[in-house]
Structure 1
Amino acid sequence: MKSSFLIAASAIAATMTAGAPVSAQVATGEMGALTPDQQQFFGLYKELIETNTTQSSGSCTQAAQQIADRLTAAGMAPENVTVFTVPEHPEDGGVVAVYPGTSSTEEPMLLLGHIDVVEAKRSDWERDPFKLVEENGYYYARGAVDDKAMSAIWADTLVRFAEAGYKPKRTVKMALTCGEETDTAFNGAQYLANEKRDWIDAAFALNEGGGGRTDGKGHLMVQTIQVGEKIYQDYKLVATNPGGHSSQPVPNNAIYEMAGALERIGSYDFPAEFNDTTRAFFQKSAAMRKDETGAAMKALVNDLGDEDAMAIVNKDKALHSMLRTTCVATTIEGGHAVNALPQRVEANVNCRIFPGHTPEEVKEQLAKLVDDPNITITLAREDKPLAKSPPLDPALIGPMETLAAKYFPGVPVLPSMSTGATDGLYMSAVGIPTYGVPSVWGDPDGNGVHGLNERVEVKALYTARDYLYDLVKTLAG
């Protein structure tokens, strides 16, 4: 469905220049031998990686049970660890764990992750995608980043809490679910939000969506905190026609009508706008850059109507998308015979809607652009909730930044709005503000996430483990 890691990396890339200050470059690279507790984490991570959790042939339920077994073996009470499934989707299960706090006034926090992965064909990969392989300072496997790295870290955090007998003030909940990567699959996060709200109810949630980016030359350049995301919505456009024999063409042709409609949509730019998160991103990014794009970003913060500055910023696809709703044609199908006039053409237009607007608003705008009574426009799905952007809460953002200064010294931390989508959508829709936290770093090529030979730098994984463990302890009190 998406890769938050790739989307974050794309946004981060827009902030970097060759002239970035040396003080903002933490060296990556080799790390020493694993300590005993790191070896324990590696065992959990490896088991999760090597359990196939693809939609086609895997089992999230098996992976969830393996994690549950580790939690109870560490000392968590069995009644606080639940593996859940629904009868219609027995292999799409997940695990919910509750680590009790001591305070009766502090609301719980939620650690959210997904354990399903994108499909991976062995014949396409250089290595077996479901065997964890270490080479040249990287771990290779499907899910090495998205999202088994964070899911393993969350589970490992509760294992460490239980083994140490740690007593936080705030109850810490964890939900590792299936269905995030396949839009039509049973989605565990949506199920929990709608059907088992009491299991995951919390004051806030920590999720994927943040992350770091290197310059590709061994230096970490930036970390991000995802504070909000766009609304994902597909629209189905249909043109119909009586058709006829292709030897006698007529002007009224469903293919031509659809082509004209899509061309009008493709040439339209939705109005630019800021919210608190994107304005902060532009402000901080502009201060980092020493090129014309940095100057243009600064100018837009002062005046969003600056056409010259907008023309420069719009050259970067990530920045262009961050400033507005975007709609793009993604599939088209039509005609029924090579020697007949087309009777039906159907196209999908995928929109990523800027927070604060609704799918119905965008549908109305598309109808105005198409301006053709022979083309109908409907929502391809009407069951998705609207993503709600969380606040830039200093009580949460502050500790994230403070600990980032410890683990990623000198590296700027930027708030960002994802132009894609995560399962945080379902949490925010029921009133649980959800943040994508700083985590593993990646390289400019995206590390093969959703593609071939997915990998994570070993040092990035263990540094993220330490950072996130401390973050959870800090926020739990």
Structure 2
Amino acid sequence: MLAAAVALATSLPSLAVAAPPTPTPGQAAFRDLYRELVETDTSVATGSCTALAEKIAARFKAAGFADSQLTPFTVKEFPLDGGLVVTVPGSAKGAKPMLLLGHIDVVNARREDWQRDPYKFIEEGGYFYGRGSSDMKVLDAIWIDTLIRFKAEGFVPKRTIKLALTCGEESGARMNGAQWLAENKPDLIAAEYALNEGGGGDTDGKGKLISQTMQIGEKSNRSFELMTTNPGGHSSIPVDDNAIYQLADAVEKVRTFRFPVRFNDTTRAYFRKAGAQRGDDLGRAMIRLADNPADKDAETLVSSDRSFNSMLRTTCVATMLEAGHAVNALPQRAKAVINCRIIPGEDQDTTRAALAQAIGDPKVAVTLVGRLRPIAVVPPLDLKIMAPAEKLVAQYFPGVPLIPTMSTGATDATYLAPVGIPTYGVPGPWGDPDGNGTHGLNERHSVQSAYVARDFLHDLVKAYASQM
């Protein structure tokens, strides 16, 4: 199995454009599972996570799992937002459980906007197309497939393996399943650590895999409303004291404000290792900045890359505007939403204070708004997590480094930290520089990535599950 997967992984350039080989029986079964996940609409607008959780439970029962191993859950207020917890008992009493985490909901998709039906699983040009094909039903399918394969192989893990498939990560408009489990059923998901989305591989966009990453930590998501008010009046008698102008001045100050560089163990290791891998001026600047955060020349160069800039610091950006009440009236109110991704070590209070100071106008109200996740906690850079992954990356992807990274987005890992479960985003599936349409139109995932990552993560979960 490993030899075949390595051969597939190391032939990336040709497979990016050529037709993939005929799937093996195991790959065909995985493909059918993946298809069912994608073709079951689980968006908050038109879908049902509960329906998909029921289908997944049926697959586990068909594979020989006992009812006692399957715990479906939902709440009566949100009957469409159900999920499923699966438990595979371990043989060693002293070994703590591990948790596999996956959200089965997806971002809304409208058929009229897509080139293909977003809820049809379509294979074309070396990619699987469909909403959720990358985020994150490919990983959901791998988690499910891995446990079913373990059952067929007769593999008995030393540590108990738990799988939590939840709803609400993408919108949280009704409920978040990971949050609900952490707050209401913490014993059901209790684990020494969890494996989640957030890591993975990166290609050069031309079929070459250039790195694999393990997510160790993420930024926190907070939004602030800037609001200005004014008595207003008739637009035929304008004055300089205008709520829109005042808000525009504040937004401009937010645009030009830059939070300071703030490294942690994960990001420092990332910039050193990724910089060395590049070998160009930007790479050398990444290393210099990791060694000396006060190096302004290095900071300027590294910050010119939008992804690297976001990993270096807290970032805040205007995302929504609303102002005025009539075309012929001076505005009485103007509002802007500023979305901030807060780096570990800072929080909503320090971020709000920094924004208020940068704006420098006490008449501009800065208020925390929107959905509040817990502030992200960086898990330890643990050798027993990294070592097995590094070994398998070297076997499956020769010459490709495994680099610890911090996600600039947010995942359900934030809900697990408060109940003592450090969470890591696994390597394996890879994506292209354009993001593969995640959260956008025509979402896709590489056929080759899905099949190779299936075997890679099967072996990685087995390695972790065999630890004491």
User: Do Structure 1 and Structure 2 share a fold, with TM-score over 0.5?
Assistant: yes
Structure 2 partner of 1:105: 94
Aligned match of 2:187 in 177, 198, 205?
A: 198
Aligned match of 2:158 in 169, 194, 199?
A: 169
Deviations 1:199-251 (Å, cap 9, x if unpaired)?
11111000011111222222211111111000110011211111111122223
Structure 2 partner of 1:143: 132
CA distance in 2, matches of 1:397, 1:214: 21
- Equivalent residues, number: 453
RMSD, matched Cα: 1.4
CA shift for structure 1 position 446: 1.8
CA distance in 1, matches of 2:304, 2:172: 30
Would you say 1:251 and 2:240 are equivalent positions? Answer: yes
CA distance in 2, matches of 1:295, 1:145: 32
Q: Residue 72 of structure 1 aligns to a residue in which SS?
A: helix
Unpaired segments of 5 or more residues in structure 2?
A: 1-8
Deviations 1:56-102 (Å, cap 9, x if unpaired)?
11111010111111112212121221111111111111111111111
CA distance in 2, matches of 1:27, 1:39: 20
Structure 2 partner of 1:475: 464
CA distance in 2, matches of 1:371, 1:458: 52
Structure 2 partner of 1:439: 428
Structure 1 partner of 2:141: 152
Give the conservation status (yes or no) of the 8 Å contact 2:235–2:330.
Answer: yes
Aligned match of 1:52 in 41, 49, 66?
A: 41
CA distance in 2, matches of 1:455, 1:439: 16
Structure 2 partner of 1:241: 230
Q: Which moved more, 1:97-106 or 1:363-372?
A: 363-372
Q: Which moved more, 1:77-86 or 1:460-469?
A: 77-86
CA distance in 2, matches of 1:107, 1:194: 20
Would you say 1:187 and 2:187 are equivalent positions? Answer: no
CA distance in 1, matches of 2:177, 2:197: 16
CA shift for structure 1 position 163: 2.7
CA distance in 1, matches of 2:347, 2:115: 43
Would you say 1:457 and 2:446 are equivalent positions? Answer: yes
CA shift for structure 1 position 31: 4.1
Aligned match of 1:401 in 390, 393, 404?
A: 390
Q: Residue 368 of structure 1 aligns to a residue in which SS?
A: helix
Give the conservation status (yes or no) of the 8 Å contact 1:387–1:429.
Answer: no
Give the conservation status (yes or no) of the 8 Å contact 2:50–2:80.
Answer: yes
* TM value normalised by structure 1: 0.92
CA shift for structure 1 position 189: 0.9
Which amino acid in 2 is paired with 1:257?
Answer: Q
CA distance in 2, matches of 1:50, 1:430: 33
Structure 2 partner of 1:27: 11
Structure 1 partner of 2:351: 362
CA shift for structure 1 position 256: 1.1
Q: Residue 375 of structure 2 aligns to a residue in which SS?
A: coil
In the TM superposition, 1:50-449 aligns within 5 A as 50-381=39-370, 383-449=372-438
Which amino acid in 1 is paired with 2:112?
Answer: S
CA distance in 2, matches of 1:412, 1:37: 28
Give the conservation status (yes or no) of the 8 Å contact 2:44–2:173.
Answer: no
CA distance in 1, matches of 2:370, 2:132: 27
CA distance in 2, matches of 1:31, 1:168: 33
* TM value normalised by structure 2: 0.94
CA distance in 1, matches of 2:248, 2:313: 24
CA distance in 1, matches of 2:415, 2:27: 32
Give the conservation status (yes or no) of the 8 Å contact 1:26–1:410.
Answer: no
Which amino acid in 2 is paired with 1:262?
Answer: V
Structure 2 partner of 1:19: none
Deviations 1:244-271 (Å, cap 9, x if unpaired)?
1112222321111111111111111111
Give the conservation status (yes or no) of the 8 Å contact 2:199–2:212.
Answer: yes
CA distance in 2, matches of 1:404, 1:429: 30
Q: Residue 475 of structure 1 aligns to a residue in which SS?
A: helix
Structure 2 partner of 1:15: none
Deviations 1:262-296 (Å, cap 9, x if unpaired)?
11111111111210000000110121122211111
Which amino acid in 2 is paired with 1:314?
Answer: S
Q: Residue 287 of structure 1 aligns to a residue in which SS?
A: helix
Give the conservation status (yes or no) of the 8 Å contact 1:153–1:465.
Answer: yes
Structure 1 partner of 2:455: 466
Q: Residue 98 of structure 1 aligns to a residue in which SS?
A: strand
